[in-house]
Chain A
Amino acid sequence: MVLLRFAGKGFANGLIFLFTPIQLCDSIAAMDISVRPSAGSMALISAVLAVTLLGLTVPVLGVIPPAPEVSDTPDDWGDALTLTWVPPGPGDLTMGYEIWRLEVEEGGEITPPAFADTVPASEVLTAAGWDMAGDADLGDTVWVDSDLEKGQEYTYILVALTDGAPMPSAPTSPEAPRRQILRNQRINILVAVALFMLTVVVLVERARRGAKLFIRRIAGLEAVEEAVGRSTEMGRPILYVPGLDPMDEVGTVAAINILGQVAKKAGEYDTKLICPNRDPIVMAVAQQVVRESYSAVGKPHLYRDEDVYYVTFSQFGFAAAVAGLMLRERPATNFFIGRFYAESLVLAETGNATGAIQIAGTDSDAQLPFFISACDYTLMGEELYAGSVYLSREPLLLGALKSQDYAKALIIIAIFVGIMLSIVSPDIAEQFKALFN
């Protein structure tokens, strides 16, 4: 029912609102028109319209909110419902909302509480067994009620708060929260990961049986041997910086994997390897990897704890320390492998000034241009993850690397299909695009 409280009540609450005809029409359009207005209300509206069209001032308090929509909250464990409602129209004096909830017994009917102008809505609702579930601000149109019981039906009333009496909506239709085993919005990712895992397993199995797998040449990784040899010839150390990120970043894991291969080559040539670290966990892992790599090539005595050490957690403190190290120790080869930030250029340019051969590798697209301009070789994006496989040439790892190529081929096909669909049928293209959202 459309209700506009005005005249005496409006003045009593000290509220005066200038209602323009357009605002009034908008308000009526936003109101719940599912219930027929009573004759009295119609007369009231007609009076307001007439007065407004004559350009007079009409004091109005607010509008009864329409009943909210209740639906099961997606991707939850069956303990939440989501309420949505339309925002108040222009000129509506609603200041916020209270949300009241009632557990519906099985087979039970919902009897709308009998509100009266003389009794506050909260008292009526409390007396009728309703609980206040929470409140929402004026701008809110969505509210999630959590910690509910799975399968239990609930109904809600939205109470609009004004400076005058609160205005309750009609009760919603009952709804029960349902449990989802999987997050529906992530099913496409699950399918993609499952397919990718399957491809990895199949290709690893093929590699195990001795299939020849072609891997394209990566210049930056081909140069590792040459770079280590250069250090050996010059009698100067190798510097290896495994990025600034912690150990739980995949880029750092890839950097540590490459460190293992570089340490093996350094061990073979009896060349000193220095590895300063910004993260203490990465330092602990790097120490273990270098120690094991030296042992693997029969040179465990080469390992010294002070060559793989912690510097500082401060970003530019670390950059200053490594730049200073490059100027003092003059390493013949610098490796900057992993994730870097603004300090990348400080490191790469200082290394360039010392005349060292520099190999960088990062998955940070923002830092790639700096490395490309200041280093001799740069591993771009995915090449960073291929590093340890490429250097070790282990058949099983080659199989896993090959799966990336197949996945890339699938992505290229999907992009091509998307382009063609966009040209032929934009509607189907949108549906196709939705598969990847």
Chain B
Amino acid sequence: MKTRGPIIVAFVIGMLMMIQFFTPNPFFLRLYNIVLDWKQVVLGCTFILGTWSLIRYHIKKIQRHQENWQYSYVTLIGLTVTVGAAGIWKTASGPYPWLFNNIQVPMQSTMFSLLAFFVASASYRAFRARTVHATLLLVAGALVMLGRVSIGAYFSGSILGVEISLVEISDWLLNVPNLAAKRGIMIGVGLGMTATAIKIILGIEKTYLGRSD
């Protein structure tokens, strides 16, 4: 029953949601909205679970004096101060928006800005022309990048008597070979999603329950 119960629930809810997609019957629409509401309720409850998991993780780290355990104090103090500020002064004014705007936002921006350096190092690795494929990627990448910037509009030439600009080559690379590959991947993803959903609804796939028997 431990495995059969969730499979029955997955089958019934899965079939109802599938029917809801194909019929305009308001009963199924109401049911769908109820499921969405319950999802929000469950998410709210699991945030308590998540916060408890975070607190326990850091308390154990402090207790065991694991590497860099001092930073766990920062996490726990930060969590207490932020939640406390929101609880006492609410979220619209007071220390909470100050904490958010002056600590959270700059830290997130810092992480995001690091992407520029990571893009540079990843591009360097990807564009090393060691094989034919990598060389093709390098040439295509260079053409697309040049075609995307203002100076690209000034490059044009004649190929077999046809006047063609770098912008057109760049657009062609993006809209034909690149888009074809992208669509191929998306078709595969769509089929994979559908197959996984069907396997779960029909009870063929049970790994998500923690067991496959």
A residues engaging B (CB < 8 A)? Answer: 75-77, 180-183, 186, 189-190, 193, 196-197, 200-201, 204, 246, 248, 250-251, 253-254, 256-257, 260-261, 277, 279-281, 283-285, 288-293, 296, 305-306, 309-317, 319-320, 328, 342-343, 345-346, 348-349, 363, 365, 368-370, 372-374, 380-382, 384-386, 388, 392, 394, 396-397, 400-401, 403-404, 407-408, 411
- CA separation between A349 and B120, bound complex, in Å? 11
Range of interface residues on B (Cβ < 8 Å): 35 or more
Q: Which residue of B has the minimal Cβ distance to A369?
A: B126
Cβ of B53 and Cβ of A253 under 8 Å apart?
Answer: no
Q: CB-defined interface of B175-211 with A at 8 Å, one 1/0 digit per residue? A: 0000000100111110111111111101011011111
Residue in A75, A193, A257 whose CB lies within 8 Å of B194: A193
Give 9 closest A-B pairs by Cβ, nearest first.
A292-B210, A385-B192, A280-B50, A382-B188, A310-B50, A280-B46, A316-B111, A373-B126, A382-B192
Cβ of A388 and Cβ of B207 under 8 Å apart?
Answer: yes
Q: Which residue of B has the minimal Cβ distance to A76?
A: B24
B18 / chain A contacts, CB cutoff of 8 Å: 193
- CA separation between A408 and B23, bound complex, in Å? 27
Cβ of B208 and Cβ of A381 under 8 Å apart?
Answer: no
Residue in A75, A306, A346 whose CB lies within 8 Å of B115: A346
Q: How far is the CB of B23 from chain A (nearest CB, A)?
A: 6
Residue in A189, A305, A401, A411 whose CB lies within 8 Å of B53: A305
- CA separation between A396 and B126, bound complex, in Å? 39
Cβ of B115 and Cβ of A408 under 8 Å apart?
Answer: no
Task: Say yes or no: is B118 at the interface (Cβ < 8 Å to chain A).
Answer: yes
Q: Which residue of B has the minimal Cβ distance to A201?
A: B202
Cβ of A370 and Cβ of B43 under 8 Å apart?
Answer: no
A-B contact pairs, 11 of them (CB 8 A): A196-B198, A260-B208, A283-B53, A284-B46, A296-B213, A309-B57, A310-B51, A316-B107, A316-B112, A320-B107, A342-B115
Cβ of B185 and Cβ of A365 under 8 Å apart?
Answer: yes
Q: Which residue of A has the minimal Cβ distance to B108?
A: A316
Task: Say yes or no: is B67 at the interface (Cβ < 8 Å to chain A).
Answer: yes
- CA separation between A380 and B194, bound complex, in Å? 16
Q: How far is the CB of A328 from chain B (nearest CB, A)?
A: 6
Cβ of A320 and Cβ of B111 under 8 Å apart?
Answer: yes
Q: Which residue of B has the minimal Cβ distance to A255?
A: B208
Q: CB-defined interface of B95-130 with A at 8 Å, one 1/0 digit per residue? A: 000000000100110011011001101110110000
Among B26, B39, B204: residue with most chain A CB under 10 A: B204
B207 / chain A contacts, CB cutoff of 8 Å: 256-257, 260-261, 289, 388, 392
Instruction: From known contacts A289-B210, A311-B54, infer whether A363 and B24 are also in contact, taking CB-CB under 8 Å.
Output: no
B118 / chain A contacts, CB cutoff of 8 Å: 345-346, 349
B residues engaging A (CB < 8 A)? Answer: 18, 21-26, 39, 42-43, 46-47, 49-51, 53-54, 56-57, 60-61, 67-68, 104, 107-108, 111-112, 114-115, 118-119, 121-123, 125-126, 182, 185-189, 191-200, 202, 204-205, 207-213
Residue in A281, A305, A346, A408 whose CB lies within 8 Å of B46: A281
Cβ of B107 and Cβ of A317 under 8 Å apart?
Answer: yes
Cβ of A408 and Cβ of B188 under 8 Å apart?
Answer: yes
Residue in A257, A280, A305, A411 whose CB lies within 8 Å of B205: A257
| Dominant secondary structure of chain B at its interface with chain A | helix
Cβ of A289 and Cβ of B195 under 8 Å apart?
Answer: no
Q: How far is the CB of B75 from chain A (nearest CB, A)?
A: 9
Q: How far is the CB of B49 from chain A (nearest CB, A)?
A: 5
Cβ of B185 and Cβ of A380 under 8 Å apart?
Answer: yes
Q: How far is the CB of B193 from chain A (nearest CB, A)?
A: 4
Cβ of B189 and Cβ of A328 under 8 Å apart?
Answer: no
- CA separation between A328 and B67, bound complex, in Å? 8
Q: Which residue of A has the minimal Cβ distance to B36?
A: A248
Q: Given contact pairs A197-B198, A292-B211, A404-B195, enumerate 9 new A-B contacts (beta carbons under 8 Å).
A: A77-B26, A200-B204, A281-B43, A293-B210, A349-B122, A372-B126, A392-B207, A394-B212, A400-B195
B193 / chain A contacts, CB cutoff of 8 Å: 250-251, 363, 385
Instruction: From known contacts A320-B107, A345-B118, A400-B198, infer whether A283 and B210 are also in contact, taking CB-CB under 8 Å.
Output: no
- CA separation between A295 and B185, bound complex, in Å? 36
Q: How far is the CB of A389 from chain B (nearest CB, A)?
A: 8
Cβ of B185 and Cβ of A373 under 8 Å apart?
Answer: no
- CA separation between A76 and B29, bound complex, in Å? 11
Instruction: From known contacts A182-B22, A183-B23, A320-B111, infer whether A384 and B199 are also in contact, taking CB-CB under 8 Å.
Output: no
- CA separation between A284 and B211, bound complex, in Å? 15
B39 / chain A contacts, CB cutoff of 8 Å: 248
- CA separation between A258 and B92, bound complex, in Å? 42
Among A261, A370, A382, A403: residue with most chain B CB under 10 A: A382
Residue in B46, B60, B122, B198 whose CB lies within 8 Å of A345: B122
